Chains A and B, each alone.
Chain A
Amino acid sequence: MNNHSLIERIKKNDGEQVLREIYQQHRNEFLHWAVRNHACSTEEAKEVFQQSIVVFYENVIHGKVTTIDVQMKTYIFGIGKYKLMELIRRRDSMREHIDEESMEITDIYHGMFDDQYESKLSQIEVCLRQIGEPCNTILQHYYYHKKSMQEIADLMNYKNRETVKNLKYKCLMRLKKNFFTSGATLTTELS
């Protein structure tokens, strides 16, 4: 299967299966390559590869990747290399310049989650679990997986996109109420 079809499958509700195939196909080779060439442990390499798969997925669903001219392996390894350098830099507290690859390899959430902010996000994660289903799934489909209202309606067997739109709004308001009444304070700045 070519890269274009893979990207289409990821967008069309088959993302998890495709990611699984890519993960299983390249995992061992990546670990071997990373440990041999980047002075990291197998566990570190594994974690980096898992994050690379997530980054790849996010780049696809956010439309940052529409076509991949190189082999899928090269692309995933490219993300992995970037992540490995980041890891090494963090580990060694070095401030060396990372020469990014010519292809666009970006982590859209890179640097977004500092410790203080991350603790707030963890609270939202808890609140999301508290509001339960179907809100949890609807909100994640819409805000993370970038599904349209119609796609969510089809996936979750709702009457139409308007039903989902109303539900999504109600769910968001429930989440907001749960989070802001749980004592969270807002310190984030508008970027």
Chain B
Amino acid sequence: MKDHKKLIEKFDFVLDNSAKDEHIQIAHQEINGDDKVLAEFKEHKILVDGIRYASRKKLLESIKTWDAEMTSIPKNRQFFMQKRWFLAAASIIIIFTFIAILSYFIRPEHEKLIANYYQPYSYGTDITRGDTAADGNDFFEAYQNGEYQKVIELYNSVGNSSDPVMTDFLYANSCQALKMYDSAIPVLERISRMDNPLAPAAKWYLAISFISEDDSDKAALVLHELTEMKSSYAAKAESLLRELEK
């Protein structure tokens, strides 16, 4: 066995290629000189090649595993990667909805009342255009079109309007629509005290302006007066008054 072990070591020495050429040459000559040894060397060589072949395959398998690790994404991440745009859009919608709901609930009480009760005065419903004799006038047309800024700009150029109260009223409404309550309130107060068909409407919008300014007491007073007047605003005034007194 000892001799055979030595022979195997000689074979390894030849196959290793790291020894000096002349030493390998000598070993080669010894092997080639004996048919039995040569046959055994051939057997040994194929075994060594087989071991190297298996090892090389094993290393390649390891490399393929690294590659798979590099390129594969965990299944749970895959779901998010595939649906990422959908999830991003859904998240944005949820966030905006949440903000909208939140802002509705956290905004001041008076803003909720305004949102529920305020609508700009609709010129042409209570009073027909013919009543004002202002057909074709840019001022009235601008109001009808909701161009409140233009109404304010044109207010002073209206001049001799056939219905100055209506002109003032629409001006005050335009100011209110643009949240210019300081300008709207004096005009509405003046009209509300007049003996004029627009007085109930002026009281209504005056009350709304006071609520907008968070002055509930003044608003309640005006609304109370309005409930006692015969007008289309009485019922609304009563309802708003109840809301204010909650």
Tell me, yes or no, whether B92 is within 8 Å of chain A by CB: no
The complex places the Cα of A100 from the Cα of B154 at a distance, in Å, of: 90
Contact A188 B42 (CB under 8 A): yes
A27 and B52 in contact (CB under 8 A), knowing A179-B47, A186-B43, A190-B41? no
Which of the residues A20, A27, A51 comes within 8 Å of B60, measured between beta carbons?
A51
Number of residues on chain B facing chain A (CB within 8 A): 33
A33-41, A84-92, A116-124, A153-161 - interface stretch: A116-124
A residues 177-191 with Cβ under 8 Å of B?
A: 179-180, 186, 188-190
Q: How far is the CB of A84 from chain B (nearest CB, A)?
A: 17
Which of the residues B41, B50, B59, B63 comes within 8 Å of A121, measured between beta carbons?
B50
Which of the residues A23, A50, A140 comes within 8 Å of B58, measured between beta carbons?
A140
A1-9, A73-81, A168-176 - interface stretch: A168-176
Contact B43 A176 (CB under 8 A): yes
Contact B17 A50 (CB under 8 A): no
Contact B54 A128 (CB under 8 A): yes
Which of the residues B47, B52, B58, B64 comes within 8 Å of A175, measured between beta carbons?
B47
Residues on the A chain within 8 Å of B55, using CB? 140, 143-145
Residues of A in contact with B, size category: 35 or more
Tell me, yes or no, whether A62 is within 8 Å of chain B by CB: yes
B residues 3-46 with Cβ under 8 Å of A?
A: 5, 8, 17-18, 31-32, 38, 41-46
Tell me, yes or no, whether B49 is within 8 Å of chain A by CB: yes
Tell me, yes or no, whether B89 is within 8 Å of chain A by CB: no
Pick the 9 closest A-B CB pairs, nearest first.
A124-B50, A144-B55, A121-B53, A125-B54, A140-B55, A143-B51, A50-B63, A121-B50, A144-B52
Task: A16-B62, A121-B49, A124-B51 are known; give 4 further A-B pairs, CB within 8 A.
Answer: A23-B66, A113-B53, A139-B51, A144-B52
User: Residues on A close to B: CB < 8 A?
Assistant: 16, 19-20, 23-24, 27, 46, 50-51, 53-54, 57-58, 62-63, 109, 112-113, 117-118, 120-125, 127-128, 139-140, 143-145, 169, 172, 175-176, 179-180, 186, 188-190
Listed A/B pairs (21) with beta-carbon separation below 8 Å? A50-B64, A53-B63, A57-B59, A109-B56, A113-B53, A117-B49, A120-B50, A121-B46, A124-B49, A124-B53, A125-B54, A127-B50, A128-B50, A139-B51, A140-B51, A140-B58, A143-B51, A143-B52, A175-B47, A186-B46, A188-B46
